[in-house]
Amino acid sequence: MLCIAGLGNPGSRYEATPHNLGFLVMDELARRYAIRIAKTEGAVLMGSGCFRDKNVILVKPQTFMNHSGVGISEVLRYRNLTNRDLIVVYDELALPWTALRIKKNGSAAGHNGVKSVIAALKTDVFIRVRVGIRPDYPVDAAQYVLAPFGRELKKDVDEVVSYTADAVESIVAEGADRAMAKFNRRAQGIQEEEE
């Protein structure tokens, strides 16, 4: 069994914001595989099902971003899963809009939700799918991640969510290394390597 967790903030106020891309990807995976993310378990909303012949749990922490690790660690512990059974999907301000990076470990790179997961699990070894959200103009980070998608980004949201869901499916079916080779991508129109 794999636990796939999307990071975000609960409530309708945050639904269409960059910080909720993890939740949007969970919703897309749930739609594709007819999984209802409706069961409250501790500090998360979750749903279980099967895709690509693998049992999966889709998780949306309900503790707000900065405490995401609490609910995720409870779900893993309750099911005797470990950090190696976890895929975390989240927005990444360090990457340009439309970029995607799959990693198997590493620092939180300033992302408070990921810091919380690392602290709760006491390890930075878990697969993460980082979805780039940085626009091509200067922003106040705290305001930007919690504000609704601007008109210039909104047109790409469905494609970004679908592409990220495809990447998660690939990780489940083929493993992280193959998914990295297929899905890690630079932002549209950018040639130099991003972090």
pTM: 0.94
User: What is the token pair recorded at 108?
Assistant: 């939180």
- Establish whether 67 is a catalytic residue: no
> Which tens digits make up the pLDDT trace of 141-179?
989 999 999 887 888 999 999 999 999 999 999 999 999
pLDDT at position 68 is 96
Bridge-based pairing of strands 100-105 and 125-134 is antiparallel
Identify the structural domains of the chain with CATH numbers, from first to last: 2-183 (3.40.50.1470)
Report the candidate in 50, 58, 47 with the shortest Cα–Cα distance to residue 7. 58
> Which tens digits make up the pLDDT trace of 83-139?
999 999 999 999 999 999 999 999 998 899 999 999 999 999 999 999 999 988 888
Q: Reply yes or no on whether the pLDDT at 193 is more than 80.
A: no
Report the candidate in 76, 72, 61 with the shortest Cα–Cα distance to residue 19. 61
Question: Which residue in 8, 14, 19, 88 is the catalytic one?
Answer: 19
pLDDT at position 190 is 52
